[in-house]
Amino acid sequence: MPFNIALFASGSGSNVENIVRYFSDKPDFHFPVIISNKSDAFVHQRAKTLHIPSFTFTKDDFFDGHKILTLLKEYQVDFIVLAGFLLKIPPTIISAFPDKIINIHPALLPKFGGKGMYGHHVHHAVIEAGETQSGITIHYVNEHYDEGNIIFQAVCEVLPEDTPDTLANKVHALEYEYFPLIIEKIATTRK
């Protein structure tokens, strides 16, 4: 039986695509479903290209969690990866997947995390604060934004000439390099 990983994404989904492509020659890992909270997110186009069914749920559905749980059961999901997903995961889903949900945050937690800290807001805040380093944090998901146990961090330099855009590019490069490797490492121990 392959290990079934559901991917959750709210936007472009470049991490989703990078993860699926990384695992494409590893038959032990399967990505049966992509879940979003935005029907117009570009991740749905990527899902079509990748031949993975994708679904959109409303904010209320995410708040409640039951409809999503039903879908996850239908697709026999073992593990959940949040790859650029912006809504909070409800207790219903967290308790059904204990220590089986991970997220990537585009900065070095515990700094620059919490509500409102996503996408360019994070990179803007890092630059405004005069930080000389930023990076990525991969962590378990609990009921509080960005507070679950940290699994892995990687660092990049923040230069005086960096803008939120150039910093986002550096952080994305780290995400593409490390997120699939960390997912593989964790998933291998859970199979």
Among 106, 135, 148, 180, binds ligand GRF (CB under 6 A): 106
105 is catalytic: yes
Binding status of residue 175 toward ligand GRF by CB under 6 A? yes
Q: Work out how close the CB of 19 gets to ligand GRF at its nearest, in angstroms, rounded to a whole number.
A: 9
Binding status of residue 83 toward ligand GRF by CB under 6 A? yes
Per-residue b/e over 4-36, b at no fewer than 16 CB within 10 Å? bbbbbbbbebbbbbbbbebbeeeeebbbbbbbb
Distance CA 154, CA 132 (A): 14
Phi, psi of 12 (to 5 degrees): -65, -40
Largest CA distance in the chain: 50
Contacting residues for 114 by C-beta, under 8 A, at least 6 apart: 145, 146
Binding status of residue 148 toward ligand GRF by CB under 6 A? no
Stretch that binds ligand GRF, among 12-20, 69-77, 138-146, 181-189 (CB under 6 A): 12-20
Distance CA 9, CA 64 (A): 18
Burial class (CB in 10 A: 0-12, 13-18, 19+), 166: middle
- If the CB atoms of residues 72 and 102 are measured against ligand GRF, the closer one turns out to be 102
Stretch that binds ligand GRF, among 4-12, 24-32, 143-151, 152-160 (CB under 6 A): 4-12
The amino acid occupying position 126 is V
Catalytic residue among 30, 105, 123, 139: 105
Binding status of residue 72 toward ligand GRF by CB under 6 A? no
Binding status of residue 9 toward ligand GRF by CB under 6 A? yes
Binding status of residue 12 toward ligand GRF by CB under 6 A? yes
Active site residue ranges: 105
What residues make contact with ligand GRF under the rule CB under 6 A?
Answer: 9, 11-15, 83-84, 104, 106, 118-119, 171-172, 175
